Chains A and B, each alone.
Chain A
């Protein structure tokens, strides 16, 4: 069965520091992977996605993620965090053999301290 694990429930970083949010997935075929960000009271905004090709993908707001098949991971990174990055981050895997639904992790809450 498809599943996504985000091991870190909450992360705190200082403004200007680097960031890495972890995501591990379980899926029997080639995964379609996504990172979304959710600010309080807002919907989910797509940061980036991986379908195929280059395993390092660039997204909006300076984020990037690397697909590592051998580790079943799709970790999100940012070299220098801004206070406005404080939000909830969700990793998701798309499952084409089950109606194209997305399976989401439980999210990682990011706090940025000045």
Chain B
């Protein structure tokens, strides 16, 4: 079946602009996660959704970052007033259930470059 998909695959923007990154999880997966991977680092947790609600947003670095999942499927990560330090690969993952530890399946990521 189809895996996790993310669009766009690459996004180049200018400092101060607003960007949206989209994630389409595996069908039927109730839990969705966003991670950020900087160059030479492992992925770092940003936010986790169980259904439509953000169950844990403790990893969001500041209030410029926001994510939604209005219908419990597709999620959008939104970054306002982008800064050069936001440049990274943004990874989305989904798992069948978020009510316990479960295997997370990752998408290919969106590479964000802020000039």
Contacts and interface: CB of A to CB of B under 8 A. Distances in A.
A binds B: yes
A43 B45 contact: no
Interface in B19-61: 31, 33, 35, 40-45, 48, 55-56, 58-59
Interface of B is mostly: loop
A44 B102 contact: no
Nearest to B3: A43
Given A36-B106, A43-B106, A98-B56, A103 B101 contact: no
Contacts, number: 65
A99 B44 contact: no
Interface of B: 4, 31, 33, 35, 40-45, 48, 55-56, 58-59, 91, 93, 95, 98, 100-109
Interface of A: 4, 32, 34, 36, 41-46, 49, 51, 90, 92, 94-96, 98-107
